[in-house]
């Protein structure tokens, strides 16, 4: 994979690659370090909080990133064993007249694709079978999201809390042996908590779900995971829910910065470049680096659908499978093409996304030609090439800037905001869950004594 391909991958905010870079490469190490620094006023809390954050973040990310593909792979094998192909898009069960649908695609593509593919569609010919298939896909979605949610949101925190409780008990036992006075130890611990000013506080769905992308499923997991973490948060001996409030603040910020902010930042950067530099940076760097694409723009020979009408878009794809438009539409998952150059009749085409892709190419073409309109032939070609290189360079900068900005917000600004929120709520910089665990352990010891 070359540098342009890597930039293209991490610049696609509809995929998991930007999340991989931000989460594993930048956010987690930064969070672990900031947790260590934020709890430096208490060595015991510091060690336990840092250990908890390390285990929580890396174990959670492993399940978060790997859980969906693993569960779906197992579910797909079960679906195939039942005689169905899980690649048939459930949206095709609703016919779109003269465009796409189960029966329409069977008639349109029979004889153009393998008999096996057509049989995959024909198996869904009755309402009873369609409902059974919908249920299987719904269960696949449920398994791919609920299993990771259960582990990350409920099981993992309980495991970490139990491990921390054991560590706290070990620390206290060592201190008791050294001091040989349980009551004195308990008094010291309450003095420490008091010094930190800890206050008390009280306080058609199957089709939609089946077609969620991996990224959308990760969003669902994060939502469930956030709820699980709030529910399983440790209470203080005085009944406070400080850890739940702390976690809720963090998770709300994390979901916004992971799933909403990068797209907003991308739009702002692209719009700024269009207004300031007169460049269109909405196209992928792979296209801007493709000599055949630039040559077609230069000669104004790039073939595109004649209109934005759904039928014209699909007809163009089916009649021009070798065109650059279809090549990149397939590459960027606007359509799905088979190896023989025929559109996969099992896949549903999102007309809106295909239309937007066509419009972006037209905007780039028009801006590139406009930048060189008064030049002679040789200079004209050089200017178009120069325009594309500038657009590619600025797009690359935008992608890296987006990753950098969103990572900085996630890895530094969000934790700092969380610590400020924590001080406002608890009056302390220390990890509220560890403080609560310390309080509970101390009171239990005192009660037993």
Partnered with residue 337 across adjacent β-strands are 343
User: Rounded to two decimals, what is the model's pTM?
Assistant: 0.70
Q: What is the pLDDT at residue 213? A: 67
65 compared with 345, residue with greater pLDDT: 345
Mean predicted lDDT score pLDDT of the chain? 81
- The pLDDT tens digits of the residues spanning 161-190 come to 777 677 767 666 665 555 554 344 334 433
- Give the count of beta carbons closer than 10 Å to the beta carbon of residue 206: 17
* C-alpha–C-alpha distance, residues 179 and 308, integer Å: 80
pLDDT at position 209: 58
Residue 173 confidence (pLDDT):
65
Separation of alpha carbons 367 and 268, rounded Å: 19
The arithmetic mean of pLDDT across residues 215-240, rounded, is 75
* pLDDT, tens digit (0-9, with 9 covering 90-100), for 109-132: 999 999 999 999 999 989 999 999
pLDDT tens figures, 234-243:
887 778 888 8
**Residue 45 pLDDT greater than 60, yes or no:** yes
φ and ψ at 180, to 5 degrees?
Answer: 60, 25
Q: Work out the percent of the chain whose per-residue pLDDT is above 70.
A: 80
Computed from CA positions of residues 248, 254, 257, 258, in that sequence, does the dihedral angle turn out positive or negative? negative
Q: What angle do CA 147, 152, 154 make, to 5 degrees?
A: 90
Render pLDDT for 265-306 as a digit per residue (tens, 0 to 9): 988 988 888 888 888 888 999 999 999 999 999 998 999 999
CA distance 377 to 262: 40
- The pLDDT score that the predictor gives to residue 225 is 67
* Contacts for 189 with CB less than 8 Å, ≥ 6 apart: 438, 439, 442
Q: What is the pLDDT of residue 350?
A: 93
Q: Return the pLDDT at 174.
A: 62
Most confident of 156-165, 315-324, 406-415: 315-324
How far is the C-alpha of 212 from the C-alpha of 374, rounded, in Å? 48
Higher pLDDT: 206 or 433? It is 433
Is residue 446 scored above 60 in pLDDT?
no
User: Alpha-carbon distance 314 to 303, whole Å?
Assistant: 14
Phi, psi of 322 (to 5 degrees): -90, 0
Structure tokens at 136: 């299987």
């Amino acid at each position: 994979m070359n540098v342009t391909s890597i930039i293209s991958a991490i610049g696609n905010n509809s995929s998991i690659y930007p999340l991989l870079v931000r989460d594993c490469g930048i956010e987690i190490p930064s969070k672990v370090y900031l947790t260590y620094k934020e709890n430096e006023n208490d060595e015991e809390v510091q060690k336990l909080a840092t250990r908890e954050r390390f285990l929580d973040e890396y174990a959670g990310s492993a399940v978060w990133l790997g859980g969906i593909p693993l569960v779906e792979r197992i579910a797909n094998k079960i679906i195939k064993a039942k005689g169905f192909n899980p690649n048939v898009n459930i949206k095709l069960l609703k016919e779109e007249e003269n465009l796409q649908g189960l029966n329409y695609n069977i008639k349109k593509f029979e004889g153009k694709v393998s008999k096996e593919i057509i049989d995959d569609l024909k198996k869904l010919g009755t309402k009873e079978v369609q409902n059974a298939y919908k249920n299987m896909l719904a269960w696949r979605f449920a398994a791919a999201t609920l299993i990771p949610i259960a582990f990350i949101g409920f099981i993992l925190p309980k495991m970490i809390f139990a491990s921390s409780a054991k560590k706290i008990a070990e620390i206290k036992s060592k201190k008791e042996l050294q001091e040989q006075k349980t009551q004195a130890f308990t008094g010291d611990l309450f003095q420490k908590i008091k010094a930190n000013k800890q206050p008390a506080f009280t306080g058609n769905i199957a089709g939609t779900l089946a077609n969620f992308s991996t990224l959308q499923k990760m969003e669902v997991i994060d939502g469930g995971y956030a709820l699980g973490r709030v529910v399983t948060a440790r209470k203080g001996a005085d009944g406070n829910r400080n850890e739940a409030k702390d976690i809720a603040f963090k998770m709300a910020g994390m979901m916004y910065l992971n799933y909403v902010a990068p797209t907003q930042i991308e739009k702002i950067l692209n719009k700024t470049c269009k207004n300031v530099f007169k460049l269109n940076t909405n196209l992928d760097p792979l296209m801007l680096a493709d000599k055949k694409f630039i040559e077609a723009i230069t000669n104004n020979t790039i073939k595109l659908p004649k209109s934005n009408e759904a039928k014209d878009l699909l007809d163009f794809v089916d009649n021009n499978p070798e065109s650059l438009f279809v090549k990149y539409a397939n590459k960027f998952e606007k359509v799905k093409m088979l190896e023989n150059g025929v559109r996969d009749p099992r896949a549903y085409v999102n007309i809106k996304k295909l239309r937007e892709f066509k419009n972006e190419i037209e905007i780039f073409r028009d801006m590139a030609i406009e930048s060189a309109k008064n030049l002679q032939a040789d200079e004209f070609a050089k200017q178009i090439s120069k325009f594309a290189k500038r657009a590619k360079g600025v797009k690359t900068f935008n992608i890296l800037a987006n990753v950098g900005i969103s990572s900085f917000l996630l890895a530094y600004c969000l934790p700092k905001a969380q610590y400020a929120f924590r001080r406002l709520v608890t009056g302390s910089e220390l990890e509220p869950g560890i403080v609560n665990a310390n309080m509970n352990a101390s009171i239990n010891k005192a009660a037993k004594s």
